[in-house]
Structure 1
Amino acid sequence: MTVCAYLALGSNMGKREETLQKAIHKLQEQPGIRVLRVSNIYETDPVGYVDQDAFLNMVMAVETELSADQLLKTALSIERELGRVRLIRWGPRTIDIDLLLFGDRTIETEHLKIPHPSMAERAFVLVPLRDVWEGGALPVYNQTIDHFLSQLAEDHKGVRKWGTVHLEIESGPSES
Structure 2
Amino acid sequence: MEVLDGLAQTRVVSRSSVYRSAPFEATGPDFFNAVVALETELEPLALLAELQRLELQAGRERPYRNAPRTLDLDLLLHGAAVLDTPTLTLPHPRMLQRAFVLLPLAEIAPDRVTPEQIAAVAGQVIERI
Alignment partners' CA distance in 2, 1:57 and 1:161 = 9
- Residue 57 of structure 1 is matched in structure 2 by 33
Secondary structure at the counterpart of residue 98 of structure 1: coil
Q: After alignment, is 65-74 or 104-113 more displaced? A: 104-113
Amino acid at match of 1:117: P
Give runs of aligned pairs for residues 5-154 of structure 1, distance below 5 A.
Answer: 24-50=1-27, 52-133=28-109, 136=111, 138=112, 144-152=113-121
Alignment partners' CA distance in 2, 1:86 and 1:128 = 25
- Residue 126 of structure 2 is matched in structure 1 by 159
Note the residue ranges of structure 1 that are not aligned, 5 or more in a row: 1-23, 139-143, 163-176
- RMSD (CA atoms): 1.3
> For residues 70-109 of structure 1, what are the alpha-carbon distances to aligned partners after superposition, in whole Å with 9 as ceiling and x for unaligned?
0000000000001101113112100000000110121111
Following TM superposition, by how much is the alpha carbon of 1:126 offset from its aligned partner in structure 2, in angstroms? 0.3
Secondary structure at the counterpart of residue 102 of structure 1: coil
TM-score (structure 2 length as normaliser):
0.94
Alignment partners' CA distance in 2, 1:99 and 1:146 = 22
CA contact (8 A) 1:45 1:54 kept: yes
- In the comparison of the two structures, how many residue pairs are matched? 129
Secondary structure at the counterpart of residue 77 of structure 1: helix
CA contact (8 A) 1:43 1:56 kept: yes
1:72–1:92 CA distance, 2 compared to 1 (3 A)? same
Larger Rg: 1
Alignment partners' CA distance in 2, 1:118 and 1:65 = 25
